[in-house]
Amino acid sequence: MLLESHFDVVPAGTGWKYPPFKLTIENEKAYGRGTADNKAGIAAVMGALRELSGKELDINLKLIAGVDEEIGGRYGVDYVMTDYGLKGDAALIVDAGPENLFLGASGIIWGKVTVNGKQGHAGYPFNAKNAVNEAVKLMAEFENYKKMVEQKRSVLQAPPGSPNKFVWGRYSVTMVIAGEKENVIPGNCEFRFDRRLLPEEPIDQAVTELEKFFESAVNKTGVDASLELVNRQQGYHTPQELPFVQTVSESIKKTTGESLPFAAELGGNDGSFFAKNGIPVVCYGTIRADTRYHGVDEFVYLQDIQKTKDLVVNLGKVSKDKIK
């Protein structure tokens, strides 16, 4: 059984009460960038392996402490699983919350749209073509794409606090880059977007749908623009009938006293790299909805690290027929 968490983090940003890169423990919480997402997962697994060390087990356990997860994972876990060829019979991704047992995660497409205009003097706008104005036209047209993908629904439920019962498609503009100076009309404008797929949605199908919409939007608006897909990652969906899924579900109940509902992650995670290599994968961990992951003053509850460690200990003691 493979046990995976990642130790790369997103930038800290500003406005922290606690130092982002120095561990602070206060009121049974550990503060710092990456405490919840996802170093607590590594700590929990290492604690479990230490407790199991020297005991006779029916299964082998391997910790994969990944990198590169926050920027796509191609040169992290994907390399280890696909290029290096690490083998396993099942995988627990300790990169989720403890409110559900997650049987899937959303696929991802990151896109970059470059809009071309004509640079010029801001005092003479009639001699230029403002690339920002052109980009706004295209972004406005992409609101129709957003509405279209938001109608998609997964067979898997969304996590707690979601506006929809089942996982749905999502599209967000996340970056706009243009301009050099107040008195210069920009000749180029770039906007980037994040498209989240349903866990079971084929990524090639989603790419084709996106490219067709882009071509239609350019023709409709008359904007001079190009589209580049800078990252793509297939989502995944693990059937709940698999023995491994039932084993993890039973172990969670044994550890915490709770029977957790099944759901899917709205974000992506490294589980897709196990799934694409034919390894059944589920997700559970310490990242509660209120832990401010990717935000200011990120933290993790110490009790959730303990519970996750105890779960891994219990899983490590099962017989191999409960895994395969």
What's the whole-model pTM score?
Answer: 0.87
Task: Verify that 82 and 164 share a domain, yes or no.
Answer: no
User: Is it the case that residue 160 has pLDDT exceeding 90?
Assistant: no
The 3-state DSSP composition of the chain as helix, strand, coil percent (nearest 5) reads: 35, 25, 40
Task: Verify that 121 and 71 share a domain, yes or no.
Answer: no
The whole domain housing 286 covers 2-105+235-322
Task: Verify that 257 and 176 share a domain, yes or no.
Answer: no
Total domains in the fold of the chain: 2
| Residue 290: per-residue pLDDT | 95
Q: Residue 43 carries which side chain, given as an amino acid letter? A: A
Task: Verify that 182 and 153 share a domain, yes or no.
Answer: yes
Mean pLDDT throughout 131-152?
Answer: 98
Task: Verify that 27 and 93 share a domain, yes or no.
Answer: yes
Task: Verify that 96 and 41 share a domain, yes or no.
Answer: yes
pLDDT digits over 250-273, tens only?
Answer: 999 999 999 999 999 998 899 999
pLDDT band with cut points at 50, 70 and 90 for residue 122:
very high
Task: Verify that 101 and 242 share a domain, yes or no.
Answer: yes
| Residue 142: per-residue pLDDT | 98
User: Is it the case that residue 16 has pLDDT exceeding 90?
Assistant: yes
% of the chain beyond a pLDDT of 70: 100
Last residue of a domain, one of 180, 206, 233: 233
Question: Comparing C-alpha atoms, which of 320, 317, 283, 322 is closest to residue 48?
Answer: 317
Task: Verify that 94 and 68 share a domain, yes or no.
Answer: yes
Task: Verify that 149 and 115 share a domain, yes or no.
Answer: yes
- C-beta atoms surrounding 242 within 10 Å: 16
pLDDT digits over 67-106, tens only?
Answer: 999 988 889 999 999 999 999 999 999 999 999 999 999 9
Phi, psi of 93 (to 5 degrees): -90, 115
Q: What is the CATH number of the domain that holds 143?
A: 3.30.70.360
pLDDT digits over 193-247, tens only?
Answer: 999 999 999 999 999 999 999 999 999 999 999 999 999 999 999 999 999 999 9
Q: What is the CATH number of the domain that holds 79?
A: 3.40.630.10
Q: Which residue has the higher pLDDT, 324 or 122?
A: 122
Last residue of a domain, one of 233, 250, 269: 233
| Residue 235: per-residue pLDDT | 94
Task: Verify that 212 and 181 share a domain, yes or no.
Answer: yes
Task: Verify that 261 and 244 share a domain, yes or no.
Answer: yes
| Residue 72: per-residue pLDDT | 83
Task: Verify that 187 and 239 share a domain, yes or no.
Answer: no
Last residue of a domain, one of 233, 265, 289: 233
